[in-house]
Amino acid sequence: MLRHALHRLLLAIPVMFGVVLIGFLLMQVVPTDPAIVRAGPAATPDVIAAIRADLGLDQPLTVQFGLYVWRLLHGDLGTSIINNVPVVQELGATIGPTLELMVASLFWSIPLGILLGTLAGYWRGSLLDRAIMALSVAGVSVPVFFVGLMLIWFVGFQWQLLPFTGRAGPIWTWDGIQSLILPAVSLGGVFVGPVARMTRTAVLDVLSADHVRTARAKGLTERLVVTRHALRNAMVPVVTLIGLQIGFLLGGAVVTETVFSWPGVGRLAVGAILSSDFPMAQGTIIVLSLGFIIVNLAVDVLYAALDPRVRGA
């Protein structure tokens, strides 16, 4: 178990290194000189040179990369060109809302997806199965922003039921919860389909397994056979596949945050790119990538914990 986790961690290190290297090179190809930006428009060449030396920009590229990694490890991602706020500070303020949105989306979409997938798999070929599968194909085909805009138009604007712009407060306040509902519904909405589809396949595989036949043969009720014997074993592949879909969810979160003006990392990243705020863009992309790698790693280890057969592989 520990060996497996260590092995995966070792494999993730070069990927993380690659992300940081790409993030560093990003700053080399953009047409802006950070020293000139920091010095301001009235600076003399002497001042700019001094800032260059101070930032280490007069050093060879390899030394600069070393400096960059050193600063990164100390939590220094530079400062925004636009408002001079440290990138880390902005990231700290936006990570919470993004996690809130993702967790709230998973909170309702995974149980619903598993329920629909189990029903579809159990009554394979029935009208219900066809309806659920049609819904699931529609779910993976619909743009997230379409769902979001429709929710804003009907629930927010026409029926005036819920707020639809921004985050009204932290998750533990009533206002905060209310403002989270519509974004979480639209982001989770596109996640139900894939989960239902994966669960259906897994349930179909498990229902024909020997141990399920045995459970039926010894006279267990159908409900017990499905919940205890079939669903439990079907969960292993479903958990992994859900983990692999986190990237899909992250992409959806970027769009959802923009639609609902939700103050998360995705919206911060898009805003930084559109306003050519390179340090901010670099910082947000690196942090999103690293976060994604860590989630993948966690899923991988969790999978091994659930299914002992994986550990040797």
Instruction: List the x/- string, 1-40, binding to another protein by CB under 8 A.
Output: -------------xx--x---x---x--xx----------
260-277: string of b/e by CB count within 10 Å (b at 16+)?
bebbbbbbbbbebeeeeb
Site map (CB under 8 A) of another protein, residues 133-152, x = contact: ----xx-xxxxxxx--xx-x
* Alpha helices (runs of H) in the chain, residue ranges in sequence order: 2-29, 34-39, 45-55, 61-73, 87-122, 127-141, 144-151, 174-207, 210-217, 222-224, 232-244, 246-259, 265-274, 278-306
111 or 143: CB nearest another protein: 143
Closest to another protein by CB, 36 or 140: 140
Closer residue to another protein (CB): 79 or 282: 282
Among 248, 261, 305, 306, binds another protein (CB under 8 A): 248
Residue type, 76: D
Angle, helix 278-306 to helix 246-259, in steps of 10 degrees: 140
C-alpha distance from residue 141 to each of 135, 146, 164, 172 (Å): 10, 11, 23, 34
- Give the contact letters, 55-94, x = binds to another protein (CB under 8 A), - = no: ----------------------------------------
Residue placing its CB nearer to another protein in the complex, 127 or 274: 274
Least distance between another protein and beta carbon 151 (Å): 11
* Residue 259 dihedral angles phi and psi, to the nearest 5°: -60, -45
**Looking at 61-69, 112-120, 181-189, 270-278, which segment touches another protein (CB under 8 A)?**
270-278
**For 151, phi and psi rounded to 5 degrees?**
-65, -40
Residue 209 has, within 13 A of its CA and on its CB side, a CA count of 17
**Contact set with another protein (CB under 8 A):** 14-15, 18, 22, 26, 29-30, 137-138, 140-146, 149-150, 152-153, 157, 247-248, 250-251, 254-255, 258-259, 269-270, 272-274, 278, 281-282, 284-285, 288-289, 292-293, 296
